[in-house]
Amino acid sequence: MNRDRGGPGLHGVPGGATQTPSRPEQLLFLTDEQLRQGIELLFFAYRDFTSDPDAVLAERGYGRAHHRAIHFIKRRPGITVAGLLDILGVTKQSLNRVLRQLIEDDLVVQTTGQADRRQRHLNLTPKGEELERSLSAPQRERLRRAFSEAGPDAVAGFRKVLERMIDEGGRDAVLSLVGREGR
Amino acid sequence: MNRDRGGPGLHGVPGGATQTPSRPEQLLFLTDEQLRQGIELLFFAYRDFTSDPDAVLAERGYGRAHHRAIHFIKRRPGITVAGLLDILGVTKQSLNRVLRQLIEDDLVVQTTGQADRRQRHLNLTPKGEELERSLSAPQRERLRRAFSEAGPDAVAGFRKVLERMIDEGGRDAVLSLVGREGR
DNA sequence: AACAATCAGTCAATAAGGCTGACGTAAACT
DNA sequence: AGTTTACGTCAGCCTTATTGACTGATTGTT
């Protein structure tokens, strides 16, 4: 099983609108050591974070690729194949293999687009919804716990930093995809 | 001995010393939607975050496995092979191939342990140090920027949440590895 | 001294999940 | 009519990870 992820993907247009900084860009003293700690904290937190659904996935013989596809189909019901490709940042061939399995296993359905009949709109079946929940449940639980323990101010800071870690080019596109109600 | 996939790694003793919560465990109202946003934010931020060194790595024909090894050898100079195995959570066989290359390319040196001569202590050569810097530089720069823009309170919250996302079992061990000076 | 356990390194086989290139088909745009 | 777009698929390759089995050196234990 492959544990790598990531990749370029989602490179949008640079048109960057800065998000009204709450304080006047106060320059921080940040030592390399502090930054290295941040890097490692991210590494470990993310590693444990992704280990949750991996267990569920393994039982079914799926991998992370399936998880990502299911996640974003859940999030954007009716998304087209090309749209999913953009978000995931993988090749058509890679996605296709995964998609084929999910459709075969009755977790995802395709419907031909009405406006543009070349497109295939993707949706989860009830069975797919169920798997999605069982994948995200442990992650949500982990976050819920961490957020609760850390408190609302910490959560706000957490989001703020993560948002600013995203490539400036695609940031607005990503953030509008993710949704910003929590802010 | 082989370890299983997605391994939690770094399992320490549960002896959990709670980190003096700054407020009395105030229960937060967290909707599934908010939590899903957190999940996605993590996904995108981490994806972009890891894309930085990937570019450098690709030029040299290395992968993420090399990066992780180099990172932790830099962080824990003189670490043994078994120690590195524990941190990375991969199998000996996987690490060995990577290590062999790094040694061959004169980025890492092995020295036989003095106390226990079965052990091999790993260190970066000057050349290895150089690669490590060029790998971590863009990540540090990204974090520096994000931290500066978000402000010190947000950074504190960021760390706080990440720490609490780490598996409780190994948390103390991980945090003492990472270091906590920044708090 | 003999034996067992540990640390490191290796070989062979297998698998997941990425990649590129090439091609085909249907539908839409010009 | 011709070009472009959206999707699907075949074939082949690579990297990283897996398990199992084994060797060699060293250390610890009886």
- The predicted pLDDT at position B4 comes to 26
Lowest-confidence pick of B7-21, B37-51, B57-71 = B7-21
- The predicted pLDDT at position B47 comes to 83
3-state DSSP call for residue B46? helix
Smallest CA–CA distance from A8 into chain B, residue: B51
**Band of residue A125 on the pLDDT scale cut at 50, 70, 90:** very high
Phi, psi of A80 (to 5 degrees): -85, 165
Q: In this complex, do B147 and A178 lie within 8 Å of one another by their Cβ atoms?
A: no
Average pLDDT over every residue of A68-88: 93
- Whether A59 and chain B come into contact, CB under 8 Å, resolves to no
- The predicted pLDDT at position B26 comes to 57
- Whether B12 and chain A come into contact, CB under 8 Å, resolves to no
A33-178, CATH topology level: Arc Repressor Mutant, subunit A (1.10.10)
Read off the tokens for B113.
């342990």
Distance from CA of A63 to the nearest CA of B (A): 11
CATH tag, B32-178: 1.10.10.10
- The predicted pLDDT at position A113 comes to 93
Residue B8: exposure state from Cβ atoms within 10 A (0-12, 13-18, ≥19) = middle
Q: Cα angle at A80 between A79 and A86, to 5 degrees?
A: 90
Q: pLDDT tens digits, residue range B133-154?
A: 999 999 999 999 999 999 999 9
Q: Kindly give the interhelix angle for A64-75 and A92-104, rounded to the nearest 10 degrees.
A: 80
Q: Which one, of A151, A152, A156, lies nearest residue B25 by Cα?
A: A151
Element (H, E) at B97: helix B92-104
* Contact residues, chain B, for A53 at CB < 8 Å: none
**Band of residue A147 on the pLDDT scale cut at 50, 70, 90:** very high
Residues β-bridged to residue A123: A109
Average pLDDT, chain A: 82
Q: pLDDT tens digits, residue range A1-50?
A: 333 332 222 222 222 233 444 455 556 789 999 999 999 899 889 888 88
- The predicted pLDDT at position B87 comes to 87
The answer to whether B95 and B69 have CB atoms below 8 angstroms apart is yes
Q: How far is the CA of A49 from the C1' of C24 (A)?
A: 42
Q: How far is the CA of A122 from the C1' of D10 (A)?
A: 24
Average pLDDT, chain B: 82
Residue nearest to nucleotide C28 (CA to C1'): A116
Average pLDDT over every residue of B110-126: 95
Residue of B34, B153, B178 lying closest to A37 (CB–CB): B178
Lowest-confidence pick of A7-16, B115-124, B169-178 = A7-16
Lowest-confidence pick of B2-11, B22-31, B68-77 = B2-11
Read off the tokens for A40.
């490692």
Average pLDDT over every residue of B19-39: 72
Average pLDDT over every residue of A65-73: 92
ipTM (interface pTM): 0.80
Average pLDDT over every residue of A71-99: 93
Q: In this complex, do B150 and A157 lie within 8 Å of one another by their Cβ atoms?
A: yes
pLDDT above 70 (res A179)? yes
Average pLDDT over every residue of A101-116: 94
